Structure 1
Amino acid sequence: MQLLLTIGIALFVVWTAVIVWQNHVYRQAALSQAEEFSRSMHEATMAGLTGMMVTGTIGQRDVLLDQMNQLGSIRDVRVVRGTAVIETFGEGTAHDARPDRSEQWVLDNGRALSVVESDGKGEYLRVVRPALAQQDYLGKNCLSCHQVAENSVLGAVSMKVSLDKVNADLAAQRWKSILMAGRHQHPGAAADLSVHLQGGHGAAALRRTGGAWHRRRRPVAGHRRHLQQRDRRPAAGAQGNEREPAPHRRRSARRY
């Protein structure tokens, strides 16, 4: 009983560690995919804004941003102007709100920022990426319109990628792992396990039925014949308790 309890505790610890490790790996992979998706959305937003700048319709960028916010997987898409753009083209429209702390950090450092946050709508991946002035960005030369040094920060694109589907899939996977672990550890599960151990006088078989372990001996061929011959011998006392004298006793009687 103590052995079974020890095995059960060990299996519980192992399965718990496996489930935690699986959840961590799956979540990290999901967050990596969400970040790559945000990169694609960032480039799509910048491609639309660049096309509107070239065609002179940049004043209608709110239409583009409103369409981006209608996508089910992202929300709160914002375009924040940097200092260089504000000095040249002004502060923009009312939708070009002042940057928050995360957006201001990206404008100051010129590096992307991604962090998991949550609000009343659920958990999301907050991603803010800078828009840099480059000679060849999406097929266009940013320096032809923006009179700034190359790689200067022109602004930032901020968005929130929903993690609702990721969390739902993660919860489903977690329950599957728990159910699988419970099925393997349930004491009343009926299963037959055979373990053949070669060597000695035979093979040992272990059978598990209804949570109880039974050990039975399976003799090999030579040992089986020995048992059959022993069973055919007359039992002691079956013929008047007569026993045949040992050979050395007969020789001793003839000598004297």
Structure 2
Amino acid sequence: MEKRLRLRFFALFTFLFLFFTIVMSLTFRELAISESKKKALDISELVRDTLTSYMVMGVIDRRDEFLSRIRELPGVESVKVIRGESVIKQFGPGRLEERAEDYMEREVLEKGIILDRLKEGIQKVEYKVVIPYKAIPTKGIDCLSCHSAKQGEVLGAISLTMDLTHVRNSVMNIILTVFLIAGLVSILSLYIIKKFLKPYVELIQETSDCMEKALKGDFNCKVETNLQDEGKILAEKLNKTFNYLNLSLQKIEERVTAMIGYGVLKTGDTISDTSKIVDELLRIYKFKRIIEKDKSKQDVYKRLIDVFSEYMSLDKFSFYEVDNQKGKIKVVWTEGSEGWCKEVIYENANECRAKRTGSDVDSRDFPCICPNFIDNETCYTGKLRYYCIPVYVGGQVRNVFQVVYEQEMEEFIQLLIPYLKGYLNESAPVLEARMYMEMLREQSIVDPLTGFYNRRFLEEIANNLTAQIKRRNSALGILAIDIDFFKQVNDTYGHDVGDEVLKEVAKAIKESIRESDIPIRFGGEEFLVLLVDVQPGYSVQVAEKIRKAIENKVINVGVVNLKKTVSIGVSEYPLDSEKLWQCIKFADVALYRAKEEGRNRVVRFSPDMWKSAEY
């Protein structure tokens, strides 16, 4: 900037200097020429008037002496008297030098006007003036008394030639002197201006630099100046403004970071970063508002997965849910592969390093730090890397998020991790609330002793279940199971042993049916098993399988080993009735028939066991 300003001042002074020099030169020239012309005219008129006086006094013969003295005047090169036609006619042509020699002299004699000419050459400057001498009374002298001429007729002319070379040289010397003085003045002025303006130029430059940084969002700038006038006041106000903006934006960033629990990617542009923070805060706020209104944790999971895959553009990741009671892990969602971890973690949650340690797992810390990654070969070669984040819900690791990425994506993923943690942390309280809601609901529909559903659960699902069975045109097997002589166990060994028997019987039932089947503790020592989508006759086979499994099971209750049997009644919906509860009653009727026939057996319901028309 200082260079540009210096060039501008230099150009301005150069222009002014040249303009002043040219104006001065032309002015001096015009003044010199004007004065020379005036001098020439004065001399010409003097010659005319003097010769007129000589004629009146009768001493015209002394004219040559007079003209010689005139020629001796400085700058006079030649002077002569030219005779007009009337004088030639009256007194003769005279001497040769008294005749008109050029067009100027002839034109003056002809028109009676004053003519002059300036002739400038490289070596010489010549000025010639020709003035007419007319037959008119002048200063009381009547020319017509001596000349035979008409009033106003041109009697002759005075031709004067002057050498103005010395005048030009003088003017040039003056101009050169002025030029040198003006040049020195300009240089001195520029120096003084530079010294005077330097601190202001530096102030403007520093202000410009700070404003440039401010445009890029960097307000950590200070304007320095040695000025003690208004410039210092300006610098102080600018510094206060920049400092205020910088501190304000930092406070905004710190408060938002504290609010959302993580920082955003910084670019160095404070305004842009602050805008991103506000945008992220709004996004997080909207995200929390949405998931707080979601009905279940599955809905929250879906929101998170949408954020990871759509907003963050992740194409390789897994999201797991930890069941701390059972010590298992299940996959909530996986992207880019059927699974990024070995199946061993599903059965034993502690095989997951992130879950076991409760801390982040970064494959960069140690080559393939977790042995249960699905493809450790690509991990060792560096083609794939991973980062696992445990999510605490209710003081325990309830979820694990795993992102998998190529080596060239490392920088992007590392910048993205705070965002991932932010969304996971924001969702944790909502997941905890939904988890407690599910636990409460589960406690209301699950028997705590056996882990089977209770009768309330059956009442809730009855209508939907029967509708699905009819829609699929299949059958629902119903097994009513009762432990034989169970009261004797309670009476003999106590209720604690009775509870162990119930748990072992439930375990045997659970192991004998499919995952899709529904075991229910119907009351006391009686169980109900709903076999979903079975073929006719299949229910009896499953019932027999259960009976044998329990018959062959040895129940160790500490003080004694027990063996128990069960009686099972079987019915099928809608084969036996169009009403589910009537089919359950039929299975119960078949159960009591099994008891009557000696226990430890399976009895299929038949219409002859029920005589009433309606249930």
TM-score (norm 2): 0.31
Q: Give unmatched runs, 5+ long, in structure 2.
A: 204-224, 237-615
Give the distance between the partners of 1:52 and 1:170, measured in 2 at CA: 38
1:199: which partner in 2? Answer: none
2:20: which partner in 1? Answer: 18
The letter for the 1-side match of 2:55 is: M
Give the distance between the partners of 2:123 and 2:60, measured in 1 at CA: 31
2:155: which partner in 1? Answer: 154
Deviation at 1:191, TM superposition (A): 2.7
- Partner SS state of residue 20, structure 1: helix
- CA 1:206 to 1:4, structure 2 compared with 1: closer, same or farther past 3 Å? closer
* Contact 1:131 1:154 (8 Å CA) reproduced: yes
Identity of aligned residues (%): 25
The letter for the 1-side match of 2:132 is: P
Give the distance between the partners of 2:90 and 2:72, measured in 1 at CA: 31
Q: Deviations over 1:201-245 (max 9, x none)?
A: xxxx7358xxx965543157xx7xx9xxxxxxxxxxxxxxxxxxx
Give the distance between the partners of 2:64 and 2:38, measured in 1 at CA: 24
- CA 1:130 to 1:162, structure 2 compared with 1: closer, same or farther past 3 Å? same
1:71: which partner in 2? Answer: 73
Q: Give unmatched runs, 5+ long, in structure 1.
A: 195-204, 227-256
Give the distance between the partners of 2:78 and 2:183, measured in 1 at CA: 42
Give the distance between the partners of 1:17 and 1:120, measured in 2 at CA: 24
The letter for the 2-side match of 1:47 is: D
* Contact 2:9 2:190 (8 Å CA) reproduced: no
Among 213, 224, 228, the alignment partner of 1:218 is: 228
1:176: which partner in 2? Answer: 177
Give the distance between the partners of 2:122 and 2:190, measured in 1 at CA: 44
Give the distance between the partners of 1:121 and 1:171, measured in 2 at CA: 13
Deviation at 1:63, TM superposition (A): 2.1
* Contact 2:118 2:128 (8 Å CA) reproduced: yes
Deviation at 1:54, TM superposition (A): 2.0
- CA 1:193 to 1:91, structure 2 compared with 1: closer, same or farther past 3 Å? same
Give the distance between the partners of 1:213 and 1:112, measured in 2 at CA: 62
Give the distance between the partners of 1:146 and 1:125, measured in 2 at CA: 31
TM-score (norm 1): 0.71
1:83: which partner in 2? Answer: 85
Q: Deviations over 1:132-164 (max 9, x none)?
A: 1112x1431112112222221111101122323
* Contact 1:114 1:125 (8 Å CA) reproduced: yes
Give the distance between the partners of 1:123 and 1:55, measured in 2 at CA: 38
Among 90, 110, 113, the alignment partner of 2:112 is: 110
Give the distance between the partners of 2:160 and 2:140, measured in 1 at CA: 24
Q: Deviations over 1:168-196 (max 9, x none)?
A: 221122112221332234389753679xx
Structure with the greater alpha carbon radius of gyration: 2
Deviation at 1:121, TM superposition (A): 7.4
2:197: which partner in 1? Answer: 206
Give the distance between the partners of 1:6 and 1:192, measured in 2 at CA: 12
2:358: which partner in 1? Answer: none
Deviation at 1:60, TM superposition (A): 4.1
Give the distance between the partners of 1:214 and 1:192, measured in 2 at CA: 14
* Contact 1:130 1:157 (8 Å CA) reproduced: yes
Give the distance between the partners of 1:186 and 1:138, measured in 2 at CA: 59
Give the distance between the partners of 1:90 and 1:131, measured in 2 at CA: 17
Give the distance between the partners of 2:122 and 2:65, measured in 1 at CA: 26
- Partner SS state of residue 22, structure 1: helix
2:167: which partner in 1? Answer: 166
Deviation at 1:77, TM superposition (A): 0.3
- Partner SS state of residue 116, structure 2: strand
